[in-house]
Structure formats: C-alpha cells, structure tokens
Amino acid sequence: MWFTRSQLRGVGFASGQARGNFALERVLCMALCAYYQFPSKPCVEQVLRVPCLGDNYAYLLHDVDTGTVGVVDPSEAVPIIDALSRKNWNLTYILNTHHHHDHTGGNTELKARYGAKVISSGIDKDRIPGIDIVLNDGETWMFAGHEVQIMETPGHTRGHISFYFPGSRAIFIGDTLFSLSCGKLFEGTLEQMLSSLQRIMSLPDETNVYCGYEYTLSNTKFALSIEPKNDALQAYATHVSHLRNKELPTIPSTLKMEKACNPFLRTSSAEIRRVLEIPLAADDAEALGVIHRAKNNF
C-alpha cells in the first residue's frame, strides 16, 4: 500500500512515501480514514496476498475485531490452507468474482475443511462450486460490519462481479481489470467491457485495485509501446520494474494510477489513437476493440 507525501503529512507522518507490513498498513489505513473522514470502522484490517498457480493472487481478508476471514478467488486450496495455518485463522467466507476454475478451484476443499460459505453472482449460481449465498448487482453485503457493494462487471465473463469495500476504498476485481490491462472477452461484448470499465472509473481515485494476476511487468511493455510519451506511465513502469526485480508484488495498484497509465482506460488518448491509427471519430467501444486486438497480437 502506497501513500503520497501530502497524504502522510496530512495525517501527521513524515514526508516521503511509506510502504510497510500489514501492521503498518493498518495504522496508515486508520490514519487515512481520519484524514478522509471515513466511517469509524472503515477498513478490512488485513488483506493478505496469497500467490497461487504461479501468477494468480487470492486474497485473505481478516477482521481483527471479530476474527472473520474471507478469501477472494481461491484458485487452489493448499496455498490458502497454508496461509491460514500460519496465521492460525479459520475461514468464514469464500468470495468468487466469476466461475473460471483458476478463481474457484479451491472452493470445494476449503468449504469442506472449514465450513466456509461460498458467495458469488446470481448469474453464475449454477457454475460456482459450492455456492451458498447469491448476490446481485447493486446489493450490499456485510463482512463483519464492513459494507461490501456488489458490482456487476461483465465482459470477461457473463456473470463477473466485483466486490467493492467503500470504507476501505478497495475493490476486488477478478479478471475485469488488471494493472495496465484488462481481461479477455470470453463471454461478453466490447460494449459490456467498456461499461464495466467506466463503472469502475467512477469510483474514487484512492481506490485500491486488487486484481487476479501479477501481470503488471509484462503489461508495461505493451502500454509503453502505444503511449510512449506518457510521463506517468514511464514513471510507473520504472517503479514496477524495481518492485519485480526485488520479487515484490505490484498489486494493489490504485485507480488513480490506472486512469493515468492503463491504456484500456484511456481510449480517448490522442497518442494511443495516433499510434494505433484509431480514427478520432471512433467511439470508445471501437477504440477499446482496437486496443484489445493490438494487445492480443503484441
């Protein structure tokens, strides 16, 4: 988790940037909550990345006050079980953004072992292993006192949803959006994907974006190839390279960073349109399609 100098000064920290362990992240999160005047219990106190299947991420969510634990998109069970054992946590909920096996592969074993409730989209209720709780677009669900807003974000799949924690300014977004990219269109249309991306862009800039894969370093190469004069992108690419050289994660990113750097959120960029020869008169869905095809062929 990263904070700007102005944010840190605003809550009484020294200038500069801070990136720390989960305990420090919790302190900074609480301080930022006060700074931004968030509700009194806004933050999921701990978010633990769990690498799975090589380049996937599942996420363990832990509420310190109640001991409630959720896992988002467990592609396999063993890494989740190991992480829970190290923390001496018990699993309460399994949250699935969509039905693909690399996001649900651990459901059955984890549910059997811990008695966890499986939560996902009503559209995907027949495709999610072990589903118990069906949630639909616009509904609110409570995770140990933390509000979770359900957002339909189709495009990658028909029933894809995202879990938005407004108090924590965090969204768990599966394969709809990656840092510097977005998901492939397996079941949805360009128009659906564009609508999903625009909906995500309507969230606050400070939103932390938790996606399903550690693809950021490879994504920098394509992004720079079609918008090489983007100063923010150049700086972010350098930062990403530095992190990955130290085998550190790049996730979460922030929505502000994605808006400034992610070509799939920048369909109106004059430079991208010039490089990819997208007519200025083309609408955003057409531009998104050209960017998608260029990425697939990169």
DSSP string, 79-125: HHHHHHHHHT----EEE-SS--HHHHTTHHHHHHHH-PEEEEESTTT
Count of residues for the chain? 298
The answer, yes or no, to whether residue 24 has pLDDT greater than 70, is no
Q: Which domain covers residue 160, as residue numbers?
A: 38-215
The answer, yes or no, to whether residue 8 has pLDDT greater than 90, is no
DSSP-derived pairing of the beta strands 161-165 and 181-182: unpaired
Tell me whether residue 270 is in a domain: no
Tell me whether residue 148 is in a domain: yes
Tell me whether residue 153 is in a domain: yes
Strands of the sheet with 131-135, listed across from one edge: 46-52, 56-62, 69-72, 93-95, 117-121, 131-135
State the average pLDDT for the chain: 88
Tell me whether residue 56 is in a domain: yes
- Contact by Cβ (8 Å): 129, 118: yes
pLDDT for the residue numbered 44: 62
More confident: 151 or 24: 151
Report the C-alpha gap between 104 and 34 in whole angstroms: 36
Cα–chain-centroid distance for residue 61?
13
Tell me whether residue 58 is in a domain: yes
Tell me whether residue 109 is in a domain: yes
CATH number at residue 55: 3.60.15.10
The answer, yes or no, to whether residue 168 has pLDDT greater than 60, is yes
Query: Taking the CB of residue 66, how many other CB atoms lie within 10 A of it?
Result: 11
Report the C-alpha gap between 137 and 196 in whole angstroms: 12
Mean pLDDT, rounded, for 128-157? 96
Percent of the chain with pLDDT over 90: 84
Tell me whether residue 54 is in a domain: yes
Model confidence, pTM: 0.84
Domain count, the chain: 1
Tell me whether residue 44 is in a domain: yes
pLDDT for the residue numbered 280: 85
Mean pLDDT, rounded, for 216-240? 97
The answer, yes or no, to whether residue 181 has pLDDT greater than 80, is yes
Phi then psi for 71, rounded to 5 degrees? -125, 135
